[in-house]
Amino acid sequence: MSEQNDTFERQLANWRDLTLAEINATLPSREPRRHLYDLVTAHMSRAGKGIRPALCIATAKAFGGEEANALPSAAALEMLHNAFLVHDDVEDGSELRRNHPTMAAEHGVPLAVNAGDAMNALSIRLLRRNLPLLGAPTAIRVYEEIDALLVESLEGQAMELGWIRDNDMRVSASDYLRMTLKKTCLYSFIHPMRIGALVANGERADLDRFDRLGFFMGAAFQIQDDVLNLIGGRRYGKEIGGDLMEGKRSLILAHLFERVCGREAEALREFLGRSRKRRVPREIGWVYDLLRRHGSIEYAQQASRDLAAAAVEEFETAFAGTQDQEAKQFVRQILNYVVTREF
Amino acid sequence: MSEQNDTFERQLANWRDLTLAEINATLPSREPRRHLYDLVTAHMSRAGKGIRPALCIATAKAFGGEEANALPSAAALEMLHNAFLVHDDVEDGSELRRNHPTMAAEHGVPLAVNAGDAMNALSIRLLRRNLPLLGAPTAIRVYEEIDALLVESLEGQAMELGWIRDNDMRVSASDYLRMTLKKTCLYSFIHPMRIGALVANGERADLDRFDRLGFFMGAAFQIQDDVLNLIGGRRYGKEIGGDLMEGKRSLILAHLFERVCGREAEALREFLGRSRKRRVPREIGWVYDLLRRHGSIEYAQQASRDLAAAAVEEFETAFAGTQDQEAKQFVRQILNYVVTREF
């Protein structure tokens, strides 16, 4: 088991390195460095584990594609993910990301918004490399996948930001899951697999087979992420309780909203409605208490486990008939990794 | 002359309407409306004169292309322009745009950053309509033009924001012109004409012929815009003196930087280095005085006139051998309009 894990970690690191090399080859090596490209390079040097590119490359290989043919798409997905993160941190007012000040905290909102835009543009530029590799028809199909995930993700983000802005306490578990499908599942899980299959099989690929698996994986992942944000964990690189400080609606809060009433509901609404700077640690303690009393965190942990189990079951359907068992096994390990991680 | 102007205004309005109709047809008519698409629709309902799309369509027609074939590119350019404006206003902290609160002022920075991202994504989506219209090779070339202008514009914006952030007083006229080429000329003038020619003549189009004309037009336009920001004018929809409040480096300031010294230079540095909120009207008055004494505004007005004259001369070279004299005349009128406008 440990040997298998070592192999997994090595492969993950290897694809992460190839992805970052592909990204670096597209980053313009010219001015303005100090106010643009240095920011992008520094951000990418702290890039995460590279789950999205690995998922794309492994899916391509599982269905008989070449690693090299998946690299530009994998790199575009990773760059796009990081562009989202830069703007997310601006929108959420977050100060910490991967144990380091966010780009906005370090360089100010104006340069961070602009650098995020540039990362976005460069991720689309990466897709041009697909033209000679995959031919125009398939390259254009990949582009359509990226186009779909971009707009859906921004819609999901608008839902989440809107709930905070309206201090909406009617957000239900189903609203949350719809938002998560848009904001997390599509770009982190569903489209990386769809694009991998496209790279392997072009126009003939059956793409919808990944949709349910990606939803279960993404929802399990996001709910677990929300839980970790509240209770912390080994190597968790973000501010503990940051989501609460931002008033972010999670499955945990949706559970709580259904259960609180009267003065408790009013106090919660008052807390969530205040600006980040006017929330004090004592009150955060009170909200934790409330969550404990209503079992909202345990509820979310159970939901994440249930979704993870559904993903494991769905996996065999989505990856039926693959040609490369090793690559298929790798995706299975990503699934494990994503839903059981505690960092 | 007045009749000619009427025809020009009618054609401009007509292409603006066609462009907005093309954009509206691409805007998803679904949720989330209140926190995303309603913001985009409201912003586009206050869209400007539509100079960029008109320049693209008229250039296409001048070189023998069809209006209908230029519409998706024209719409993408207009949408992209508006996406830039939304993020620009966030980055500059501007509160007024087209006599209306900016999206960030009205809906907050988080929703404005996100809606700008969505407008960006939708402008790229508009380009997909070129595939059936122009065929894949030309559609891909148009996309490459957009890719180039996107990255260059964001580089130009980084230069400008960086100068403000560093409170840089070494910015020279040549630095300013290089920034303006990137930030204004390429996306507002050079690429709209290049793309128009591509729409007309596909792979065979000679695109570089527009580069000098577009630079002269764009620089004349931007310098005039900077002057109007200081002195106001009929129908000028932005905050008068707003650029000064933001510490924005202009040709006017570059001229002044070369002339002030000693205590005056120190006072100017101190003024420009303060945050927007800590600048008071009395000091603004002092800076105006300084500009008057050193003739910096007159210098910029003269530079704008010189560049406009260079554009007029260059026009005949860039539009030599066109097939449609009416469309060519229209571009000539845009040139007039852009460099002599006083709104």
A281-309 pLDDT per residue, tens: 788 889 999 999 999 999 999 999 999 99
Burial pattern A315-332, b for ≥16 Cβ within 10 A else e, equals beebbeebebeebbbbbb
Spatial distance between the Cα atoms of A65 and A20, rounded to a whole number of angstroms: 20
Q: Cα(B340)–Cα(B334) distance, rounded to whole angstroms? A: 10
Q: Which residues are registered as beta bridge partners of B85?
A: none
- Tens digit of each residue's pLDDT (9 = 90 or more) over B178-187: 999 999 999 9
B positions 290-309 inside 8 Å of A (CB)? none
Q: What is the pLDDT of residues B60-107, one digit of tens each?
A: 999 999 999 999 999 999 999 999 999 999 999 989 899 899 999 999
A35 and B91: CB-CB below 8 Å? no
Query: How many C-beta atoms surround the C-beta of residue B93 within 10 A?
Result: 18
Ranges under pLDDT 70 in chain A: 1, 233-238, 341-343
The Cα A177–Cα B226 span in angstroms is: 48
Q: Which amino acid is at A297?
A: I
Q: Which CATH architecture has domain B2-340?
A: Orthogonal Bundle (1.10)
Contact status of A120 with chain B (Cβ, < 8 Å) = yes
What are the residues facing B96 on neighbouring strands?
B101
- Enclosing H/E stretch for B325: helix B325-340
In this structure, how many other beta carbons lie within 10 angstroms of the beta carbon of residue B277?
8
DSSP states of A67-90 as a string? HHHHHHHHHHHHHHHHHHHHHHHH
* Interface contact A161-B110, CB threshold 8 A: yes
- Distances in whole angstroms, Cα of residue A118 to Cα of each of A17, A111, A166, B283: 21, 10, 30, 36
Asked if A124's CB is within 8 angstroms of B161's CB, the reply is no
Give tens-digit pLDDT for B113-139.
999 999 999 999 999 999 999 999 999
**A292 CB burial (10 A radius; 0-12, 13-18, 19+):** exposed
Q: How far apart are CA B313 and CA B332, in angstroms?
A: 11
pLDDT at residue B47, as a whole number: 87
Residue B112, token pair as written in the block: 């404005």
Please, is B212 exposed, middle or buried when counting C-beta atoms within 10 Å of its C-beta (0-12, 13-18, 19+)? middle
CA B81/CA B150 separation, integer angstroms: 10
Confidence check: pLDDT of B233 > 80? no
Phi then psi dihedrals of residue A331, to 5 deg: -60, -40
> What residue spans define the domains of chain A?
2-340
Predicted local distance difference test score (pLDDT) of residue B282: 82
Q: Which of B108, B114, B161 sits opposite A35 (nearest CB)?
A: B161
| CB environment A108-145: b (16+ within 10 A), e (fewer) | ebbbbbbbbbbbbbbbbbbbbbbbebbebebbbbbbeb
The reply to whether residue A151 touches residue B111, judged by beta carbons under 8 angstroms, is no
Predicted TM-score (pTM) of the model is: 0.95
pLDDT tens per residue across span B19-57? 999 999 999 999 999 999 999 999 999 989 999 999 999
Dist CA A58 CA A114 (whole Å): 33
Confidence of residue B234 (pLDDT cuts 50, 70, 90): low
| Partner A contacted by B151 (CB < 8 A) | yes
* A67 neighbors A57 (Cβ within 8 angstroms): yes
B162: contact with A, CB 8 A cutoff? yes
Per-residue pLDDT band at B341 (split at 50, 70, 90): low
Give the mean pLDDT of B181-197. 97
* Cα separations in angstroms, B146 against B18, B141, B151: 20, 9, 9
Is the ipTM beyond the 0.90 threshold?
Answer: yes
Q: Helix, strand or coil for residue B101?
A: strand
Q: Do A115 and B162 touch (CB under 8 A)?
A: no
Neighbours of A16 (CB within 10 A): 19
